[in-house]
């Protein structure tokens, strides 16, 4: 028996071996669920029932999804680089574009995660104090809402903060 594992009458408890884990399947389903427009997707509880898992487990995976996806993009970029290095050659133009795309996607995940965290904090602050957000925080929320960041739009709607018109590009 491995240290840290407990045998009980029901069997072993603790973390499953990676080969038995459903993490990749769950993350793939969550990514597809997250990309579906909110008005068209089922609830997280319904998805949990469909996958035969708990709502709590899906919530944990959903919280870490951006970070996991960022790491996955970075891992893929490193794999491409290492392959070229192992073959003692420069990366092809296609490989260079793939690496650049993967690194850009990883950066976008990082930014999205940071912005989501900030917006959650703003939401909590708005619930606690009557004064609202600082001028800088409000500017950031309005800018993100104008650029289509759903969480920022919800925050403005919920707290009835007026949004200036969208800028017209090309004029």
Contact 30, 36 (CB under 8 A): no
From the list 18, 29, 27, 11, the residue with the least C-alpha distance to 64 is: 27
Q: Give phi and psi for 165, each to the nearest 5.
A: -60, 150
Paired with 13 in beta bridges are 6
150-158 and 93-128 helices, crossing angle to 10° = 10
pLDDT of res. 3: 55
pLDDT of res. 130: 62
| pLDDT by position in tens, the chain (length 171) | 555 555 555 666 777 787 778 888 999 999 899 888 878 889 999 999 999 999 999 999 988 888 899 999 999 999 999 999 999 999 999 999 999 999 999 999 898 888 888 888 888 877 776 667 778 888 888 888 888 888 888 888 877 665 555 556 655
Q: Environment class of residue 148 by beta-carbon count within 10 Å: exposed (0-12), middle (13-18) or buried (19+)?
A: exposed
Paired with 6 in beta bridges are 13
pLDDT of res. 129: 66
pLDDT of res. 170: 57
pLDDT of res. 114: 87
Compute CA distances 88 → 37, 58, 74, 78, whole Å. 45, 43, 21, 15
- 35 alpha carbon, distance to own chain's centre: 11
Report angle CA 50, 52, 54 to the nearest 5 degrees.
105
pTM over 0.75: no
Q: How many CB atoms lie within 10 A of CB 167?
A: 8
Q: Which residue has the tokens 């017209």?
A: 168
DSSP designation for 19 = G
The domain limits of the chain are: 22-63
């Amino acid at each position: 028996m491995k240290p840290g594992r407990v045998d009980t009458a029901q069997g072993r408890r603790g973390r499953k071996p990676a080969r038995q884990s459903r993490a990749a399947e769950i993350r793939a389903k969550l990514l597809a669920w997250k990309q579906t427009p909110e008005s068209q997707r089922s609830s997280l509880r319904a998805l949990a029932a469909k996958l035969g898992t708990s709502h709590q487990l899906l919530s944990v995976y959903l919280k870490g999804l951006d970070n996991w996806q960022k790491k996955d993009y970075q891992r893929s970029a490193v794999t491409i680089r290492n392959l070229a290095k192992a073959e003692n050659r420069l990366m092809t133009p296609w490989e260079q574009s793939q690496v650049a795309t993967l690194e850009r996607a990883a950066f976008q995940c990082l930014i999205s995660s940071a912005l989501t965290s900030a917006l959650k904090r703003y939401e909590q602050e708005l619930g606690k104090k009557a004064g609202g957000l600082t001028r800088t925080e409000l500017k950031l929320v309005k800018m993100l809402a104008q650029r289509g960041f759903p969480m920022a739009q919800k925050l403005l709607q919920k707290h009835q903060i007026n949004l200036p018109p969208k800028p017209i590009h090309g004029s």
